[in-house]
Structures are given as structure tokens and as C-alpha cells.
Amino acid sequence: MSHEPPAAHDLTHIAPRDKAEILAEALPYIRKFHGKTIVIKYGGNAMTDPALQQDFAEDVVLLKLVGMNPVVVHGGGPQIEDALAKIGKKGTFIQGMRVTDEETMEVVEWVLAGQVQQDIVGLINVAGGKAVGLTGRDGGLIRARKLRMVDHKDPSVVHDVGQVGEIESIDPSVVKALQDDQFIPVISPLGFGANNENYNINADVVAGKLAEVLKAEKLMMLTNIPGVLDKAGNLLTNLSAREIDELFADGTISGGMLPKIASALEAAKNGVTAVHIIDGRVPHSMLLEILSEQAYGTMIRSH
């Protein structure tokens, strides 16, 4: 396999003056966010397309090199599905949540902490960064308890979805220690309970909570859509927490976007300066969102 940089990154067609302008435009953003923590939720297409994987890794390394502190939290739904299919197991869901029995939990741990996390660590390292993989166990990062899932229709019914957890507390000291030492933490959304039991936690929830606890400047959520759309399908680029509440109330935001936006909203309400929901299918969308004036998704402001 050749190690030549891919042709897509050949910038010879851009005039030197344009290149200088692009770099100059990035400067105020680099200055503004220097030393700040940026939590990135990585999933969806950006995570399964090899060219986009490379773009993502390069973006993370660049952010670190210009003095920001990126922290990656990853999901792995499609990869978990594939692994369960290999052992002949069919995933069952209650209200959108994967029922996680002991056997499923073993597969989830193996896929998230083994395969997916190590792939991301490798990609970032090859792109010139120093990534370190963590799960919620490392340094006592994520304490969790069993999720009590109340039925949507009948609140007196509580569904048992197995080893699915909700976050009890996050101790960010291991993440801070790595950040201060030039490393890029890559976190699998697995937590542990009071009796050392394992829990699978929604990655959007982990990213949101971690951003709050680390007092992050930004939470970037890479998705498979352009951002939050209005009822006519137009992109809403800039929303306040109050406007998001209204979109929930009138049903504009529904389905699979609910947990994602709910996590984003909670982070915005609890001290994260800005939450960006961006299209992971656009090459380098994260870099463009942070270092340019162009909006590449929906920004949720804290007020």
C-alpha cells in the first residue's frame, strides 16, 4: 500500500493568495479556541467510510496541533449489528433501546472497546496524533446504574432492557491528565456499576455529559443528516435552547434525532458554550465548522 497522500488533498489548483486567505480566516478561531476542550461524538457514515475516516483523523490531529484539546466519544451501532449477526443473534429493541443481555453485552464490549476504539486510535496515530483508548472503567471515568425504562404509554410499566446503563457520575481526571500531556483520549461509552457490573450507555448521552463535566467550549456531534431541519426540510443553522424546546413541542424534532438533540440541549443548558450538530458525510466538516465562518450544521447556543 502506498503512503503517498491521497489525490483529494492536492491543493495545487488553489491560488497562493486564496490559500493565504483561507489560513488567515482560520487564525481568529485558532486564537479564540486555543487551550479549550472540544468533545466530539463520532459515529454514523463518518465512521464507516474509509475516506471520511481519514479526514476525521486529520481534523482531530490538526485541532490538537493548533492548541485545542479534542476528546473523542464514539458509538458503534452498525458494527455491533454486524458482530451479533455473525454469532446468529438478532437484536431486539424496546422504545429504540437495544435489549442487552449478558451475551449481547460481551459482543458490545468486544466491538466498542476492542475493534471500533482501536481502529480510531490507529487512524489518529497514523495521521500524526497520539491517541489513547479509554472505557468508562479506566480511571473510574464513568459510573453507571441500570437504566429504568418507563413505558411511554403506561408509566406504571418499567421495561428491563438488560445491561443498559444511565450515568451516575463522571470523574474526568484521567481525561484531563491525558489532555495535559499531548494525548487525544478516545472513549468507548461503557460504564461500570457499584458491584463492578458492565453497562452499555448511549454514546450521545456520554458525549453530552462529558462535555458538561469537562466544561467544554464545544460539543460536536457528527451525524448522518445536515443538521436540524425545519418542517419544510430547511437547515436551521443557529438555535437557542428555548427554540429547540419549541421544536420538540411541535414535533419538528422526532424519532432517532430525539436522544441526540436532547443530549445536545442538556449540554447547552449546563454550561457547554456551543453544541454543533454537523453532517459527518461532508469531508472535513468538523474543521470547516470550527475554523471558518461558514455554518456546516446546526449550532445550539446556551442562551
**Which residues define the annotated binding site for substrate?**
76-77, 98, 200
Cβ burial of 44 (10 Å; 0-12, 13-18, 19+) is buried
> Kindly report the CA angle at 218 between 133 and 184, in degrees rounded to 5?
20
Nearest CA-CA partner of 271 in 223, 198, 195, 217 = 217
Per-residue H/E/C for 106-137: HHHHHHHHHHHHHHHHHHHHHCCCCEEEECCC
Task: Dump strand ranges (E) for the chain.
Answer: 37-42, 69-74, 93-94, 97-98, 131-134, 142-146, 149-150, 158-159, 165-170, 184-187, 190-192, 198-200, 218-223, 238-240, 274-279, 297-301
β partners of residue 239: 300
Q: Which residues are annotated as a binding site?
A: 76-77, 98, 200
278 strand-pairing partners:
222, 297
Residue 282 to residue 177: CA distance in whole angstroms: 32
Question: Contact at 8 Å (CB) between 69 and 61?
Answer: no
How far does CA 62 lie from the centroid of its chain?
17
Please calculate the CA angle 241-97-197 and round it to the nearest 5 degrees. Answer: 105
Distances (CA, A) of 78 to 152, 182, 266: 26, 31, 26
Q: Is 23 helix (H, G, I), strand (E, B) or coil?
A: helix
